[in-house]
Amino acid sequence: MKKIIIFLAIMMGIYLISSSLMAYSLTDENSAFVFDETEATSWSVDGVNQLYQQMFFYRLGDIGEENSITWSNISLYDVDGDGQTEGVSAYYGGTRFSLLMSALLQGGDDNSHQSWLNTTVTIFNFANEDLHLFLYSDYDLGGTPSDDIASVNLTAQNVYQVDYDAHFAVLTPLTGCNAYQIAPYDVLYGSLTDTNPTTLNNSGGPLSGDATFALEWDFPSGNVYSVNFLQSVQPAPEPATLLLLGSGLIGIACISRKIKN
Ligand SMILES: [Ca+2]
Ligand SMILES: [Ca+2]
Ligand SMILES: [Ca+2]
Ligand SMILES: [Ca+2]
């Protein structure tokens, strides 16, 4: 399924080039974050890409489909004056609501496996219905989609995704959101791009494989709101050796029982 989507994306890419989407890049220390008007397409940390796709969707009211946000008035900023642009601001001006987004990339030292992206979105909802805003993230840690594990930690109030082989992890806070969902790529991306209204179902994993997750914020009509979240790439902890041994033994026991039956 993903291969088909990638093929379609390449075809779309040819179309998008002809409709002149711009590539923008934030860079700081060991990190680079690349995006265009509709989506972020990579977050490289120490030269290794961690992000396959990240984008915003919205729906007004309770019926109909979600739509992706296309940003305009994109401006890059060199905040610390070192010649690299690590800050961005962008605007979405709809007929019934508008968004003002700003983000700041902070890289870590070389080979620290650390990077931070601090994003603030100001929401002006002048529609007479609720605005549902979704942040959809498909991290492929270490550049490999199939060996990640994603899980919600309700105590720490975040989504945590880890790839022990690549020694990378990523953390996204849940603070302030109304709903969340961890699901396989085709399920979650499919639900945000089909023709039915989507409410995230608060399933929090743990999910192994090509995990994706989304956060949802619901904004009542006629007001101004602000959302802030700090996503971070982090070094993965070493997996507990005893835990691996234990699960290996359980696996062997199950297999031998199956053969006997
Ligand atoms: Ca700079
Ligand atoms: Ca991986
Ligand atoms: Ca949907
Ligand atoms: Ca993924």
**Which CATH number goes with the domain that contains 150?**
2.70.98.10
CB neighbours of 68 closer than 8 A, spacing ≥ 6?
38, 39, 55, 56, 57
- Can you give the pLDDT at residue 251? 38
- Residue 17 in any domain: the answer is no
- Residue 8 in any domain: the answer is no
CA of 200 to the centre of ligand 3 (A): 10
Number of domains in the chain: 1
- Can you give the pLDDT at residue 218? 97
CA of 146 to the centre of ligand 3 (A): 25
- Residue 136 in any domain: the answer is yes
- Residue 229 in any domain: the answer is yes
- Residue 13 in any domain: the answer is no
Helix (H/G/I), strand (E/B), else coil: 252: helix
HSE-CB at 228 with a 13 A cutoff on CA atoms is 2
- Residue 15 in any domain: the answer is no
- Residue 183 in any domain: the answer is yes
- Cα angle: 156, vertex 26, 219; to 5 degrees: 50
Give the environment of ion ligand 2: residues with CB less than 5 A: 141-142, 144, 147-148, 163
Q: Contacts by 245-248 with C-beta closer than 8 Å and gap 24+?
A: none
- Can you give the pLDDT at residue 259? 39
- Can you give the pLDDT at residue 249? 41
CA of 50 to the centre of ligand 4 (A): 9
- Residue 18 in any domain: the answer is no
pLDDT tens-digit profile, the chain (261 residues): 555 555 555 555 555 545 678 999 999 999 999 999 999 999 999 999 999 999 999 999 999 999 999 999 999 999 999 999 999 999 999 889 999 999 999 999 999 999 999 999 999 999 999 999 999 999 999 999 999 999 999 999 999 999 999 999 999 999 889 999 999 999 999 999 999 999 999 999 999 999 999 999 999 998 999 999 999 999 998 876 545 544 444 333 333 334 343
Domain, as residue range, for 190: 26-260
- Can you give the pLDDT at residue 73? 97
The alpha carbon dihedral of 242, 244, 245, 249 has a sign of positive
